[in-house]
Amino acid sequence: MNYIVAIKNNQTIPLKDIPEQSYTTFLETNINLLKDRDDRHCVNYFGFGVGDTVRLFCCIADDSMHQIYLSSCVINKGTTLNSFSKFNLNFEKFEREISENFGIRYTDHPWFKPVRYPFNRFDKSKSISEYPFYNVDSEELHEVGVGPVHAGIIEPGHFRFICNGEQIMHLEIQLGYQHRGIEQLFLQKKSLLERTILAESIAGDTTVGHTTAFANLWESLAGYQSPEDLQFSRTLALELERIAIHTGDLSALCTDIAYQLGSSVFGRLRTPIVNYFQEWSGNRLAKGLIRVGKTNFPYNDQLAKRLESVFVAYEPDFNEMCTKLFKLPSALSRFERTGVVTLDEVKSIGTVGMAARMSGLNRDIRLSHPHNLYTTFEHQPIIKHHGDVYSRAQIRREEIWQSINYIKSLISKVPEFKRVVEPDLKPQANAFALSLVEGWRGEICHCAITNDKGELALYKVKDPSFHNWLALAQAVRNNEISDFPICNKSFNLSYCGHDL
């Protein structure tokens, strides 16, 4: 008997082909898949509620085999179970989410707490103001509570520090304030355009990433092979988004160490990149650029020439500023050995994207499960080994260089954009589809299930931040509380992508 079925990224399979097992086998299968295998991790684990039962789906990505292993198990809502998390912390937040949505109780979960207080949670008796914080009864230690409203123009979340003097002993991050009910809205909104706009709004800083994941997934569900020009737009936009955000974050890192010159120069260098998005698509954050099965903004040689000139102006100023910043003793003394997360820790947490590559864990969907035009070239992920703020800053600098090179090679041969008739994109009935995209933060995973009429029955979104928030909490331990801002900015995790 098969316990799992293997699929490729962006593949749709009949729902009945996913093996169903007893919970004990389901647990053993998935734990064994991950045992001592760093090239495998859980990309999504969620429940699909039908009446009083829940069908759990576990998706384990195998980076060496370029496959995703699916398995499932049906249980009753409100049951008590043994947790996966006891054996592997990768599942920690997924199980909390399953519990929050379906009232499953885990007997041996190490950190059994709410995730985001969604409007459709199983137990509505508690609200977000009653989150059970970890606390220590001590005369020596004190607590610092920050948020949900922060001292800046950023999204809301609550940070509860337990400190010994200036030193952080423990940080607990409570999210959920941004919850808008996105997954439910995907089912309520019936038109493709409405759903595309929802995907654009999952996280506005990753507009291209999430919309590409949605578009790839929907085209797969409908059995439509999108032409090269659409693949080209999405790949180009993903790399541009990476450059824009990394540049902005280098600026923010400089702001947080009070380095005015770096803050201003990187801040202004972000503008030509986002303005280029506007020249191409009419929106500085590329909202409206990615559409399923079509594009409203065909790319052409004129736009390519324009982008070359943007880089001609960008590169010398960027390089000059980087040379200065990465040699500046006062900056390095704040970056180096601050906010360290070790390789063992990132493996245990199961971080993805930049938050894995900073500590030597090679996790990059562009290489392991390539999508769009990443299938056509060999991507070399940028890997650092110290897991500190400096490593994260280096990754941003080097990924910008790398993205510029990729883009230059992409736009050297712009495919012909044909005005095609919009394809009829009707999803297959009783199907399961999974789409992985490497956004600038890391791996984005969208999953969809359709019913017997081919209508959407479940839409599941996972932003890389869902894995990575715990790494931030780990990073600040034993650091001074004044270093929290640079630790936070060096990760720049998404609140709305997490809260949905």
Partner 1 sequence: MFDNIKILYHQGKQFIPNVKTVEVPGVFRGRPIISTVNVDNQVLVSVCPLGAIEVSPVRINLGKCNFCGECSFKFPEKVKFTKDYKLASNTPEGLIVTEGIDKPIQLDDSIIRPEIRKLFKGSLKLRQVSAAGDNSCELELNASNNVQFDVSRFGIEFVASPRHADGVVITGPISQNMATALQITYDAIPEPKMVILIGVDAISGGIFAGSPALDRSFIEKYKPDLYIPGNPVHPLSFINGLLSLLGK
Distance CA 263, CA 241 (A): 19
| Closer to partner 1 by Cβ: residue 42 or 265 | 265
- Quick one: residue 416, left, alpha or beta (phi over 0 = left, psi -120 to 50 = alpha)? beta
Among 47, 114, 288, 381, binds partner 1 (CB under 8 A): 288
Closest Cα to residue 56, out of 33, 22, 12, 92? Answer: 22
Q: How far is the CB of 458 from partner 1 (least distance, A)?
A: 17
Site for partner 1 in 210-249 (CB under 8 A): 248
Determine the interface stretch with partner 1 among 65-73, 103-111, 164-172, 195-203 (rule: CB under 8 A). Answer: 195-203
Q: How far is the CB of 137 from partner 1 (least distance, A)?
A: 27
| Residues 6+ away with beta carbon under 8 Å from 142 | 162, 163
| Closer to partner 1 by Cβ: residue 89 or 185 | 185
* Alpha helix (H) residue ranges in 73-134: 92-102
| Closer to partner 1 by Cβ: residue 19 or 148 | 148
User: Binders of partner 1: how many residues, by CB under 8 A?
Assistant: 67
Distance CA 142, CA 488 (A): 21
Q: How far is the CB of 387 from partner 1 (least distance, A)?
A: 25
Binding string to partner 1 for residues 100 to 119, with x set by CB under 8 A, is what? ----------------xxxx
| Closer to partner 1 by Cβ: residue 97 or 364 | 97
Among 61, 168, 203, 236, binds partner 1 (CB under 8 A): 203
Among 62, 172, 205, 438, binds partner 1 (CB under 8 A): 205
In what side-by-side order are the strands of the sheet with 11-14? Answer: 11-14, 431-438, 443-450, 456-462
Site for partner 1 in 294-323 (CB under 8 A): 296, 316-317, 320-321
Q: How far is the CB of 265 from partner 1 (least distance, A)?
A: 6
Among 8, 66, 113, 284, binds partner 1 (CB under 8 A): 284
Q: How far is the CB of 330 from partner 1 (least distance, A)?
A: 13
C-alpha 207: how far from chain center = 12
Among 77, 86, 180, 477, binds partner 1 (CB under 8 A): 180
Please calculate the CA angle 97-207-276 and round it to the nearest 5 degrees: 160
Q: How far is the CB of 285 from partner 1 (least distance, A)?
A: 5
Distance CA 493, CA 100 (A): 22
For the chain, helix (H) and strand (E) counts, in that order, are: 16, 14
Binding of partner 1 by 270 (CB under 8 A)? yes
Structure tokens at 119: 């409007």
Closest Cα to residue 15, out of 449, 345, 359, 353? Answer: 449
Which uninterrupted H or E stretch holds 12? Answer: strand 11-14
* Alpha helix (H) residue ranges in 257-300: 260-281
Q: Where along the sequence are the contacts to partner 1 (CB under 8 A)? A: 116-120, 127-129, 148-149, 151-156, 176-181, 184-185, 189, 191, 193-194, 197-198, 201-205, 207, 248, 261, 264-265, 267-268, 270-271, 274-276, 278-285, 287-288, 296, 316-317, 320-321, 324, 494-496, 499
